[in-house]
Amino acid sequence: MIRNPSRGHLKIFLGYAAGAGKTYRMLEEAQKLKSENIDVVVGYFEPHARKDTIAKTVGLEMIPRRRIEYRGCAFEEMDTPAILARHPKVCAVDELAHTNVPGSERTKRWEDVLEMIEYGIDVISTMNLQHIESLNDQILQITGVRVRETVPDWVINEADEVVMIDVTPEALINRIKRGVVYKPEKAQQALQNFFKEATLGGLRELALRQAAHEVELRQEDSQNRDEVPGPASEMDARTQEQPQNADRILIHLTSHPSSAMLIRRGRRVADFLRAECFAVYISPTGNFFHLSVEEREAADRHLNFARSLHIETRVLQGADVTTALVDFARHQHVTQIFMSRSALAQKTFLQRNLVFRVLRLAPDIQITVVAERSRPKTA
Amino acid sequence: MPHEDNRPSPEQLLERVERQERREKRGRLKVFLGYSSGVGKSAQMLDEGRRRRERGEDLVVAATQPKSTPECNALLAKLEVIPTLKIEGQDVIDVAAVLRRNPRVVLIDGLAYDNPPGSRHPRRSGDIDEILDAGISVITSISLQYIEEFQDEIELITGKRATQFVSRKFLEKAAEIVIVDAPTEEHRLSRLREMALLLAAQVVDVQLRDYLEEHGMEEVWGNQERFLVCITPKSHALRMIESGQRNARRFRGELYAVYVRQNALSAEDQVMLERNLKVAEDHNAQVMVIEGDDPMKAVLTFAREHGVTQIFIGHSLGHGLLQSFQRTPVERLIEAANGIDVRIFPQ
């Protein structure tokens, strides 16, 4: 990875639920930096009226929020222009996944943060596991909640450091019960829904694995950069894998709603396998004019979604989906094609479904049929 | 899983009750795990002690690290400390004094110490067990390098072995384990860091499965990726297994190779089957031979029970028009494999 040398550092404190102590740790770090005479400011901080956390801001320079009017209401947002003008060495920014109110320069807070980094400001920030885009379906499965505010995985990869903020579910539930995290009426609701021991355990395990994965990615990056010799082990065997073994993943997009899930799963698998990842939409005309308005919108949405996750996307022209898909796959040396189960239903008279037509045409390519990860019924 | 499997047997119920009772009487063990010394375990643990104390919890400190940072000393000043005994110049927990004082929680900084001869227990972990048995909860800390089972791997990375350690089992018994994470630039330390995070994930996984089982919940979330390769005499096992191994390694997951026993295999098929199973074993897959009239059903049942997230299966490219009207076994597998990805290898 080639990076702008004057670029600021990004450090993310990763938690698995509200109340884990991310903000506390971020502010603690800011205090530590200040005590080392480093020029640090708080760009945004969400107090949530937590006493211990608020106490941690004492003595830190806070950049005042700015008010943005939207539909007659005043919203308070981080004042990115003021931070850029102030240009501190380090800026603490809470809640990376936040969506700015319309009228802000950028849609997402992580975009503001990337801007600060471009300007050479180091940023320390916080986010929860739930906000990682590629985990969205898995989070739904564990919690029953579809998280709307997400951060694309590549943004997290941009971070120089990801630190896991761990707390046990027991301690978290106690904090909720004591009213440290939410006000009493919201606390009861939280305990019944999200803050159940099993749910928290599931999220926590996933967060620990994610944190381990982030450590591993950075190890490989730094190894590839400096080629630090280390003792031979499994780890090194992983990084030195033969290129001919490299996986290349192709996601077959359609207008079907399962495409979003397919994109997330494909992205995640590609990240872990360090594989190239493509996505194609096949249209007989090479455009969307023949589609209904709904289908066209869905196709656009899926393509944009794939692009936002840094997946290379194409709209291919092809009267026959099978041939178009296989031709592209061959040309790009794709090793596996990701399809949703809806592909099983795509069959015509006297013809096999799409999965098996592709298999027959391309005996050198594997097909992964991705399952919907729906929420299981609780006993 | 079939519904009737949900109901626990009387023996299982009894065991649950006994486990519950034991747990209720015994103190709770909480362990702060760091990947190296200097990541801030002591400070985080003492800070928790301070917060508990401020909330009015009856908490004392029974052991501290020989060298303390100013931050830790400031926290210690706010806490009640039961002095350690000096035996042969070594700090040993004064278990008798702790039991007499009988607080609700004891804080013990540093778990992996051997006690000198003449002590109450040969190891500090024994002291902790006794305190827990007395119904007092313990909060303690340990660095990854003091865990017995990791000695070989750690020696490969750091060139050093610990002389005093505790077994991983001791950690798994803990009611709570918390990871103390901190970034590092150093390559070797970052390998230890990854190991510690994964260890914590595995402990959480085990505890979560116990919890779900105890509460009769059957939720498979696929937090840990598990790959299942279907083996038959005719499958191109090597390709699938190699890919499975690569995936399992990358995802830090597990790899299973499963064969559903078929009757009356030809001699030739038998040879091929054995060769395929050998390939799986050589690639460190967990090889399982299972029974079932309907192979696809048997594979799926196994997959569900073991929390498999991806099934790898070979598909022979048959010919003939008739076939296009019937659903192939692989199709049936895909349709039934709710929540599990199916990767098809043409052959």
Give the largest CA-CA distance in chain A. 76
> What is the average pLDDT across A326-348?
86
Whether B87 and B206 map to the same domain: the answer is: yes
Cβ–Cβ under 8 Å, residues A97 and A151 = yes
Cβ–Cβ under 8 Å, residues B178 and B190 = no
Please name which of A255, A267, A249 lies closest in space to residue A306, comparing C-alpha atoms.
Answer: A267
Residue A20 domain flag: yes
Separation between Cα atoms, residue A284 and residue B34, nearest integer Å: 57
Whether B210 and B241 map to the same domain: the answer is: no
Which strand ranges, in their side-by-side order, compose the sheet holding B254-260?
Answer: A312-317, A276-283, A248-253, A336-340, A366-370, B341-346, B310-315, B226-231, B254-260, B286-290
Residue A2 domain flag: no
Residue A236 domain flag: no
Separation between Cα atoms, residue A258 and residue A346, nearest integer Å: 14
Output the CA angle B35-A42-A85, nearest 5 degrees: 125
Output the CA angle A171-A174-A178, nearest 5 degrees: 140
Question: Final residue of a domain: which of B192, B214, B236?
Answer: B214
Whether B321 and B281 map to the same domain: the answer is: yes
Residue A185 Cα distances to A74, A89, A172, angstroms: 26, 41, 17
Residue B46 domain flag: yes
How far, in whole angstroms, is CA A337 from its chain's centroid?
Answer: 22
Whether A267 and A146 map to the same domain: the answer is: no
Residue B5 has pLDDT above 70, yes or no: no
The tens digit of pLDDT for each residue in B283-308 reads 999 999 999 999 999 999 999 989 89
Residue B346's H or E segment, with its range, is strand B341-346
The tens digit of pLDDT for each residue in A58-67 reads 999 999 999 9
Cβ–Cβ under 8 Å, residues A152 and A309 = yes
E-strand spans in B27-135? 29-34, 59-63, 80-81, 85-87, 90-92, 105-108
Cβ–Cβ under 8 Å, residues B234 and B222 = no
Whether A205 and A269 map to the same domain: the answer is: no
HEC string for B101-125: HCCCEEEECCCCCECCCCCCCCEHH
Q: Which residue of B has its CA nearest to A347?
A: B324
Residue B8 domain flag: no
Model confidence band, residue A5 (pLDDT cutoffs 50, 70, 90): confident
The answer to whether B339 contacts A363, with C-beta atoms less than 8 Å apart, is no
Strand partners, B106: B60, B138
The answer to whether B317 contacts A363, with C-beta atoms less than 8 Å apart, is yes
Whether B82 and B186 map to the same domain: the answer is: yes
Residue B219 domain flag: no
Whether B194 and B294 map to the same domain: the answer is: no
Task: Note the pLDDT of residue A251.
Answer: 97
Q: Which residue of B has its CA nearest to A201?
A: B208
Nearest to B181 among A211, A213, A369 (CB): A211
Mean pLDDT over each residue of chain A, to the nearest integer: 87
* DSSP code at position B11: H
Which residue is associated with the tokens 């455009």? Answer: A287
> Which bin fits A227, alpha (ψ -120 to 50), beta or left (φ > 0)?
left
* DSSP code at position B174: -
User: Residue B210: CA atoms inside 13 Å, Cβ hemisphere, count?
Assistant: 13
Whether B232 and B267 map to the same domain: the answer is: yes
Residue A232 domain flag: no
Whether B73 and B137 map to the same domain: the answer is: yes
Give the rounded percent of residues in chain B with a pLDDT score beyond 70. Answer: 93
For the beta carbon of residue A294, count every other beta carbon within 10 angstroms: 9
Query: Among A48-62, A184-198, B83-97, which stretch is predicted with the lowest mean pLDDT?
Result: A184-198
Whether A247 and A197 map to the same domain: the answer is: no
B138: helix, coil or strand?
Answer: strand
Cβ–Cβ contact B190 with A under 8 A: yes
Model confidence band, residue B4 (pLDDT cutoffs 50, 70, 90): very low
Query: Among A219-223, A338-342, B163-167, B238-242, which stretch is predicted with the lowest mean pLDDT?
Result: A219-223
Residue B105 domain flag: yes
* A357, A358, A361, A366 alpha-carbon torsion, rounded to 10°: -140
The answer to whether B346 contacts A366, with C-beta atoms less than 8 Å apart, is yes
Please name which of B104, B105, B146 lies closest in space to residue B124, comparing C-alpha atoms.
Answer: B146
Task: Note the pLDDT of residue B323.
Answer: 52
Separation between Cα atoms, residue B157 and residue B196, nearest integer Å: 14
Separation between Cα atoms, residue B252 and residue B225, nearest integer Å: 7
> What spatial distance separates the first Cα and last Cα of chain A, rounded to whole Å?
48
Separation between Cα atoms, residue B137 and residue A378, nearest integer Å: 32
Separation between Cα atoms, residue A150 and residue A143, nearest integer Å: 15
Whether A63 and A211 map to the same domain: the answer is: yes
Whether B242 and B190 map to the same domain: the answer is: no
Whether A210 and A335 map to the same domain: the answer is: no
The tens digit of pLDDT for each residue in A108-130 reads 999 999 999 999 999 999 999 99
Whether A186 and A252 map to the same domain: the answer is: no
User: Which residues constitute the domain of residue B243?
Assistant: 226-346
Domain count, chain A: 2
> What is the average pLDDT across B240-261?
93
Output the CA angle A169-A171-A174, nearest 5 degrees: 105
Residue A376 domain flag: no
The tens digit of pLDDT for each residue in A244-269 reads 568 899 999 999 999 999 999 999 99
Task: Note the pLDDT of residue B179.
Answer: 94
Q: Which residue of B has its CA nearest to A164?
A: B181
Separation between Cα atoms, residue A156 and residue A12, nearest integer Å: 8
Residue A228 has pLDDT above 60, yes or no: no
Question: Final residue of a domain: which of A188, A221, A254?
Answer: A221
Q: Which residue of B has its CA nearest to A232?
A: B156
Whether A216 and A269 map to the same domain: the answer is: no
> What's the CATH number where B271 sits?
3.40.50.620
Residue A259 domain flag: yes
B320: helix, coil or strand?
Answer: coil
Whether B88 and B127 map to the same domain: the answer is: yes
Model confidence band, residue B17 (pLDDT cutoffs 50, 70, 90): confident
> What's the CATH number where B55 sits?
3.40.50.300
Residue B330's H or E segment, with its range, is helix B329-336
Nearest to A359 among B6, B204, B344 (CB): B344
Which residues from B are below 8 Å from A52, CB to CB? 51
* B324, B326, B329, B332 alpha-carbon torsion, rounded to 10°: 110
Residue B201 domain flag: yes
Cβ–Cβ contact A307 with B under 8 A: no
Q: pTM value?
A: 0.84
Tokens of A28: 């603690």
Output the CA angle B36-A53-B55, nearest 5 degrees: 85
The tens digit of pLDDT for each residue in B127-177 reads 999 999 999 999 999 999 999 999 999 999 989 899 888 999 888 888 889
The answer to whether B339 contacts A376, with C-beta atoms less than 8 Å apart, is yes
Whether A204 and A305 map to the same domain: the answer is: no
Residue A235 has pLDDT above 50, yes or no: no
Whether B244 and B312 map to the same domain: the answer is: yes
Model confidence band, residue A379 (pLDDT cutoffs 50, 70, 90): very low
Whether A42 and A122 map to the same domain: the answer is: yes
Strand partners, A277: A249
Task: Note the pLDDT of residue B223.
Answer: 82
Nearest to A163 among B181, B215, B321 (CB): B181
Cβ–Cβ under 8 Å, residues B106 and B59 = yes
Question: Final residue of a domain: which of B214, B240, B261?
Answer: B214
Whether A251 and A209 map to the same domain: the answer is: no
User: Residue A48: CA atoms inside 13 Å, Cβ hemisphere, count?
Assistant: 21
Whether A173 and A137 map to the same domain: the answer is: yes
Whether B209 and B248 map to the same domain: the answer is: no
Question: Final residue of a domain: which of B150, B179, B214?
Answer: B214
> What is the average pLDDT across A147-175?
92
Which residues from A are below 8 Å from B157, CB to CB? 230-231, 233
> What's the CATH number where A311 sits?
3.40.50.620
Cβ–Cβ under 8 Å, residues A275 and A235 = no
Residue B16 domain flag: no
Scan residues 21-80 of B and list those with Cβ closer than 8 Å to A: 30, 51, 55
For the beta carbon of residue B138, count every other beta carbon within 10 angstroms: 23
Residue B17 domain flag: no
Residue A62 Cα distances to A42, A45, A59, A90, angstroms: 5, 9, 9, 12
Residue B9 has pLDDT above 90, yes or no: no
State the DSSP string of B213-266. Answer: HHTT------SS-EEEEEE-TTS-HHHHHHHHHHHHHHHT-EEEEEEE--SS--
Question: Final residue of a domain: which of A221, A251, A285?
Answer: A221
User: Which residues constitute the domain of residue A334?
Assistant: 243-370
Model confidence band, residue A211 (pLDDT cutoffs 50, 70, 90): very high
Query: Among A35-49, A225-239, B26-40, B294-308, which stretch is predicted with the lowest mean pLDDT?
Result: A225-239
Whether A29 and A125 map to the same domain: the answer is: yes
Separation between Cα atoms, residue A190 and residue A187, nearest integer Å: 5
Please name which of B310, B251, B256, B312 lies closest in space to residue B283, comparing C-alpha atoms.
Answer: B256
Strand partners, B135: none
The answer to whether B223 contacts A344, with C-beta atoms less than 8 Å apart, is no
The answer to whether A351 contacts B249, with C-beta atoms less than 8 Å apart, is no
Domain count, chain B: 2
Task: Note the pLDDT of residue B96.
Answer: 96
The tens digit of pLDDT for each residue in A271-284 reads 999 899 999 999 98
Residue B298 domain flag: yes
The contacts of residue A303 (CB under 8 Å, 6+ apart) are A253, A279, A281, A313, A315
B72: helix, coil or strand?
Answer: helix
Backbone φ, ψ for residue B181 (5° rounding): -105, 145
Whether B105 and B247 map to the same domain: the answer is: no
> What's the CATH number where A60 sits?
3.40.50.300
